[in-house]
Amino acid sequence: MSRLLDLEKYDEFVGNLELIDDEDMRFEYIIDVGKKAGDADFPEVMKVDANLMHGCMSKVWIIDRVDDGRHYFSGFSDAIIVKGLVTMMTESFSGLTGDELDALNEDHVRKLNLGALTTQRQVGMLAMLAHLQKLGRRVTTAAAD
Amino acid sequence: MSRLLDLEKYDEFVGNLELIDDEDMRFEYIIDVGKKAGDADFPEVMKVDANLMHGCMSKVWIIDRVDDGRHYFSGFSDAIIVKGLVTMMTESFSGLTGDELDALNEDHVRKLNLGALTTQRQVGMLAMLAHLQKLGRRVTTAAAD
Amino acid sequence: MSKLSALTEPFGTGGNSVQAFDVDKVRADFPILSREVYGKPLVFFDSGASAQKPRVVIDCIREAYESYYSNVHRGAHYLSQRATDAYEEARVIIAKFMNAPSDKNIVITSSVTESINLVAATWGRKFLKEGDEVIVSEMEHHANIVPWQMLREEKGIIIKVVPVRDDGSFHLQDFEACLSSRTKLVAITEVSNVLGTRVPIKELTRIAHERGAKVLVDGAQGIVHQGVDVQALDVDFYGWTGHKLYGPSGVGILYGKADVLESMPPFQGGGDMIVRVTFEKTTFQDPPHRFEAGTPPIVQAIGLGAAVKYVEELGMKSIAAQEHSTLAYAQQELADIEGYREVGTAPDKAAIISFLVDGLHPFDVAAVLDRQGVATRVGQHCAEPLMDRMGIEGTVRASFGLYNNRADVDALVAGIRKAKEMLS
Amino acid sequence: MSKLSALTEPFGTGGNSVQAFDVDKVRADFPILSREVYGKPLVFFDSGASAQKPRVVIDCIREAYESYYSNVHRGAHYLSQRATDAYEEARVIIAKFMNAPSDKNIVITSSVTESINLVAATWGRKFLKEGDEVIVSEMEHHANIVPWQMLREEKGIIIKVVPVRDDGSFHLQDFEACLSSRTKLVAITEVSNVLGTRVPIKELTRIAHERGAKVLVDGAQGIVHQGVDVQALDVDFYGWTGHKLYGPSGVGILYGKADVLESMPPFQGGGDMIVRVTFEKTTFQDPPHRFEAGTPPIVQAIGLGAAVKYVEELGMKSIAAQEHSTLAYAQQELADIEGYREVGTAPDKAAIISFLVDGLHPFDVAAVLDRQGVATRVGQHCAEPLMDRMGIEGTVRASFGLYNNRADVDALVAGIRKAKEMLS
Ligand SMILES: Cc1ncc(COP(=O)(O)O)c(C=O)c1O
Ligand SMILES: Cc1ncc(COP(=O)(O)O)c(C=O)c1O
């Protein structure tokens, strides 16, 4: 569990964001991620209360598919910016096991370096991380039954 | 009723206090009045709740004797300073009718020029005035029955 | 002391001519307005959530703590007396501002939320029985819904809701349709915090009183835009909150008619609200002190007094005229944006604009505005039932204060255009 | 920022050696202490009623209003986020200061009076039935008596009173004698605001818990003199008030254990404490937000955070040592005054002295002291039942803060001598 996680997609986001030194442009980058996220990945029928993540200013749905103990997330929000953020989270941390998800911490979110963006904190990327971890644990437990 | 009241004792207090331009000495003057007030004037049996004036930090009793429609007050307090203040009030405004008492106003208290003394406001000389006026009205009403 | 801008040319609004003021001079009274956000000048359109504070208020708070702070109503010493005088003087200032008969009508609370809860917990618990009806409107803030729901839970009262029309307007006939012989209280907002709709309180109160019902007004958004004359309105209760009237956070007001306040049991128990305490029996003070248990928000009340003096010097009529003129300008400029839609278009509304932009999520719009330095509020504005009724999930809200000028409006309009560009 | 005096030589108190500080440097942190009263230097011995504020707190308040003020938990804009961060950061600072397991244990109220009323109105109303017993002590402040009397009125609970001894001391066996199988709550002060007596909360809590009773501590006078570790004490509730810990007026704290807070219904209804509102049904937030309806005392909580950081930098142990040393000096000097009598002489008391002077009315003594610039409190100190029990009408109280020095004590002693001279 303490082995270094291989977070390819995450590293790509971090790298891209590091290249942008203008905050406004970093903000636009998130919007771009949101715009590019294929809505088709998130089936309309999944937009139900059971998949809602609570505590956000706009609705956020997150689902996961488990394959060989690894979690593959997708997320959706009506708000583009929130969709951008949730997409960064779900793409970054897909493919991990429940234990690996648990090993993630606040620093992983902080390294995305969106701290200066109000919206980032508003929608609570930390809350999203906690939500992914909860989903990771939930299915692990279910599997142990 | 709008005739000028003849407030001999009151004028004496105002005059005395005007002569003192040091606040500390004015404060001592009140203590002196309190010390000199003959306790005998206020019979022990009258120190009952019915004669208590409410809302003071130390207990204040006030009684009145009515003679020919005129009110003669005496007051008492366990605290010397308060006794000084209540004595100034009862001596100043004894001998007036209920209507004359009603004609008194805040300025009469203010002219005593004790405004700078915390204690004056704490014990509420205005409240004492209102209390004397209430006593004045009470008996007037009773007499009208 | 107060450095108010000189009044300028007369200015017509609704027939009466009042003095307008030079907004740019007034802006200089508010230190925060000269700050930047993300390197852009701050444009503050969130005064409906809480207003910014003029220097006189900030200085008054500092002065209180630096030169005469003490607890009130307790000490026999100089500072205690000074602080008590200042605190009670604030009550007098507030009473006069509201045209209350006396400062004894003014209960100092911690917020309008507490003011309303106080009435529900004392008057409501004592006088409302199962089946009694409380009328509210569809556009209430949660602060004027939840306390009555909690009382419904406890007592079995009935809550009736006056609908608003599609344009957000409020009609007295809709209100009258809710009245019944069981109506005991009308608890209603004076101005909707989302739509800006004004409720005709005076007429409503006359009608309610004819039916023997009491009236409580949530004046949180009313008093800040138009002042209040509680005797003219003849309402039984009027609550408001200091931080929206350019005063400190942490202080609110409840006005009540004398006989109504006197009929009410205490709210909370503690120091200052009692006459005598023994373990067997406790006797309570008269209003307003009966309702002020414990150390009150001393410096906050004093600071609110300073805020009231500030708006009085500008003049509530001038403030209304100024806001009205800025609102009209905004409505005209915003209407030019394609896809822009104002939510709540009742005639003669207060200076609050809720809006949507076709195809864009309000959250995204507000976020882009924020990046341009334009502060608005987005979401349900603590008025979820109103959102449900309007069939929307939320809006972006630009709420105006006395300091908003046309340059602010221009920044808002440019920000929305930019949002459309970035998000489409 | 905080300009704290350097710590000086080590200093023994109760076995543990702690750093004392240079009081005179600390005094310079408090602007009001350099003022005069009636032309004499202010000597402030009324911190038990409310403490004075260090510059860091006053500056923190000003900075909040001038540079990042906004409502919290609502806006999507920068200032709103800044203000929310500062407000929630204060909660974290306070949680750490009390050694609470989490900031979720910390409810921000408007005063300890409200904190206690909150528990009575939510936990008390829900869990106490007719005949259930609540134990208080004879030395409670009215804030910890009247709420239980109001609940007695409503529910028919029984209030049992632990007596104090003639010297003002509190004994656990007197407490144990009050326990019964119907005891549901012990609501008790940590330090008497009149006598300075300390209650052994940790032991008391262990005993109460063995009997299945919950414990609420009124820490208003405790935390300011000795800090608190709520986990070590294991109490269920611990309330205190900001203005006595050198923080702003208008803010208080209620600590509660997580499971206890979770079991409680909401206190007041309004914005911020709900998850979803419809006219049919409303769902409430988790603690602590469930108990914080409406706009909270935003800047006051932030200012209290600054006050906590200030006392933490000085160190609560150092403050206790400093106060203890000044108290001991005062007791020794005062004892030399003929006719002087200390009311409350329990061993190991906190730095509060109540006293009488033979033949003099306490009011007169306090008034003469006041004229010498010495601020004390006189009367019943919101603890009438204790006065009745002690068979006195009131006392003069000198309550010490971290800034009182030996010169203050000398002025107090000289003032009492002067009072004797003037009044006899
Ligand atoms: C022991 C005690 N409890 C409660 C209180 C009430 O505090 P507040 O008035 O801030 O609510 C005080 C102070 O007055 C006190 O000393
Ligand atoms: C109409 C209305 N009522 C009540 C409130 C609640 O005010 P507070 O949070 O200050 O109690 C608000 C503001 O949020 C409001 O707009």
- The confidence band for B5, taking pLDDT boundaries of 50, 70 and 90, is confident
Chain B residue with minimum CA distance to D40: B24
Q: Which one of D267, D296, D312 terminates a domain?
A: D312
Same domain (yes/no): C69, C166: yes
ipTM of the complex, rounded to two decimals: 0.92
Same domain (yes/no): C150, C240: yes
Show me where the domains of chain A are located: 8-144
- Ligand 2 site residues (CB inside 6 A) read C 111-113, 141, 143-144, 189, 193, 218, 220-221, 241, 382; D 270-271, 294-295
- The confidence band for D17, taking pLDDT boundaries of 50, 70 and 90, is low
Q: What is the mean pLDDT of chain C?
A: 94
Greater pLDDT, D319 or C13: D319
**Angle formed by the axes of helices C112-119 and C146-155, to 10°?**
20
For chain C, the chains sharing at least 3 beta-carbon pairs closer than 8 angstroms are: A, B, D
Same domain (yes/no): C47, C120: no
Contact (CB, 8 A) for D226 and D320: yes
> What's the Rg (C-alpha) of chain C?
22
In this structure, which amino acid lies at residue C1? M
Determine, for residues A118 and D275 on separate chains, whether the beta-carbon distance falls below 8 Å: no
Confidence at residue A115, expressed as pLDDT on a 0 to 100 scale:
57
Of C173, C200, C179, C193, the closest CA to residue C135 belongs to C179
D384-420 pLDDT, tens digit per residue, is 999 999 999 899 999 999 999 999 999 999 999 999 9
Determine, for residues D249 and C297 on separate chains, whether the beta-carbon distance falls below 8 Å: yes
Exposure string for C224-236, b = 16+ CB within 10 A, e = fewer: bbbbbebeebebb
| Domain range enclosing C379 | 3-52+315-423
Confidence at residue A39, expressed as pLDDT on a 0 to 100 scale:
73
Confidence at residue A140, expressed as pLDDT on a 0 to 100 scale:
52
A82-138 pLDDT, tens digit per residue, is 899 899 999 999 999 999 999 998 888 888 767 556 555 655 788 889 899 999 987
Q: What is the mean pLDDT of residues B52-62?
A: 78
Confidence at residue C107, expressed as pLDDT on a 0 to 100 scale:
98
Of C16, C1, C22, C14, the closest CA to residue C314 belongs to C22
First to last CA, chain A: 22
Of A32, A131, A132, C35, the closest CA to residue D77 belongs to C35
Specify the CATH number for the domain of residue C248.
3.40.640.10
CA of C217 to the centre of ligand 2 (A): 12
Sign of CA dihedral B7, B12, B13, B14: positive
Instruction: Kindly tell me if the per-residue pLDDT of C212 is higher than 70.
Output: yes
Same domain (yes/no): C29, C63: no
Of B84, B80, B111, the closest CA to residue B7 belongs to B111
Confidence at residue D4, expressed as pLDDT on a 0 to 100 scale:
39
Instruction: Kindly tell me if the per-residue pLDDT of D246 is higher than 50.
Output: yes
Same domain (yes/no): C288, C391: no
Q: What is the mean pLDDT of residues D229-255?
A: 98
- The token duo for C139 is 């556009």
Confidence at residue B139, expressed as pLDDT on a 0 to 100 scale:
56
- The confidence band for B118, taking pLDDT boundaries of 50, 70 and 90, is low
Looking at the structure of chain C, the number of domains it has is 2
Instruction: Kindly tell me if the per-residue pLDDT of B113 is higher than 90.
Output: no
- D46–chain B nearest CA distance, Å: 16
Greater pLDDT, D251 or B4: D251
Confidence at residue D420, expressed as pLDDT on a 0 to 100 scale:
97
Of C352, C403, C317, the closest CA to residue C14 belongs to C317
Chain A interface with D: residues with Cβ < 8 Å: 54, 57, 118-119, 121-122
User: For a pocket test of ligand 1, which of C74, C295, C299, C300 has the largest count of ligand atoms closer than 8 A to its C-beta?
Assistant: C295
In this structure, which amino acid lies at residue A64? D
Enter the pTM of the model.
0.94
Contact (CB, 8 A) for C385 and D277: yes
Same domain (yes/no): C163, C265: yes
Q: Which one of D256, D287, D312 terminates a domain?
A: D312
Contact (CB, 8 A) for D344 and D389: no
Atom of ligand 2 nearest to the CA of C112: 11
Confidence at residue C4, expressed as pLDDT on a 0 to 100 scale:
39
Torsion of CA D418, D421, D423, D424, to 10 degrees: 160
Determine whether the shortest distance from the Cβ of D169 to ligand 1 is under 6 A.
no
Q: What is the mean pLDDT of residues C281-306?
A: 96
**Percent of chain A predicted with pLDDT > 70:** 81
- The token duo for C340 is 């822009």
Confidence at residue C25, expressed as pLDDT on a 0 to 100 scale:
94
Specify the CATH number for the domain of residue D400.
3.90.1150.10
- The token duo for B145 is 């029955």
> What's the Rg (C-alpha) of chain B?
15
- The confidence band for A139, taking pLDDT boundaries of 50, 70 and 90, is low
Reduce the secondary structure of C72-140 to three states and give it as a string. CCCCCCHHHHHHHHHHHHHHHHHHHHCCCCCHHHEEEECCHHHHHHHHHHHHHHHHCCCCCEEEEECCC
Same domain (yes/no): D319, D304: no
Same domain (yes/no): D39, D70: no
> What's the Rg (C-alpha) of chain A?
15
**Percent of chain B predicted with pLDDT > 90:** 38
Greater pLDDT, A47 or C134: C134
Of D252, D70, D249, the closest CA to residue C244 belongs to D70
> What's the Rg (C-alpha) of chain D?
22
Determine, for residues B118 and C275 on separate chains, whether the beta-carbon distance falls below 8 Å: no
Determine whether the shortest distance from the Cβ of D214 to ligand 1 is under 6 A.
no
Q: Known catalytic residue: C178?
A: no
* Cα-based angle D101, D103, D104 (whole degrees, multiple of 5): 90
Q: Could you tell me if residue D119 is left (phi over 0), alpha (psi between -120 and 50 degrees) or otherwise beta?
A: alpha
C-alpha distance from residue D66 to each of C55, D55, D87, D300 (Å): 8, 16, 16, 14
Same domain (yes/no): D38, D106: no
Same domain (yes/no): C27, C106: no
CA distance D392 to C408: 65
Among B19-23, C241-245, D265-269, where is mean pLDDT lowest? B19-23
- The confidence band for A143, taking pLDDT boundaries of 50, 70 and 90, is very low
- A37–chain C nearest CA distance, Å: 14
Instruction: Kindly tell me if the per-residue pLDDT of C13 is higher than 80.
Output: no
Same domain (yes/no): D99, D161: yes
CA distance B88 to C295: 34
Among the partner residues C70, C266, C271, nearest to D46 by beta-carbon distance? C70
Instruction: Kindly tell me if the per-residue pLDDT of D15 is higher than 60.
Output: no
CA distance D231 to D101: 8
Greater pLDDT, C110 or C10: C110
Of D323, D265, D241, the closest CA to residue D127 belongs to D265
In D102-203, beta strands by DSSP E? 106-109, 133-137, 158-162, 183-189
Q: What is the mean pLDDT of residues C312-332?
A: 96
- The token duo for D53 is 């504020």
Are A and D neighbours with ≥3 CB pairs closer than 8 A?
yes
Q: Which one of C312, C347, C365 terminates a domain?
A: C312
Q: What is the mean pLDDT of residues D23-35?
A: 97
- The confidence band for C276, taking pLDDT boundaries of 50, 70 and 90, is confident
Instruction: Kindly tell me if the per-residue pLDDT of C12 is higher than 50.
Output: no
Of A119, A129, A120, A4, the closest CA to residue A62 belongs to A129
Determine whether the shortest distance from the Cβ of D189 to ligand 1 is under 6 A.
yes
CA distance A20 to A35: 18
B8-144: which CATH number, 3.90.1010.10, 3.40.50.1950, 3.20.20.140, 3.40.50.2300?
Answer: 3.90.1010.10
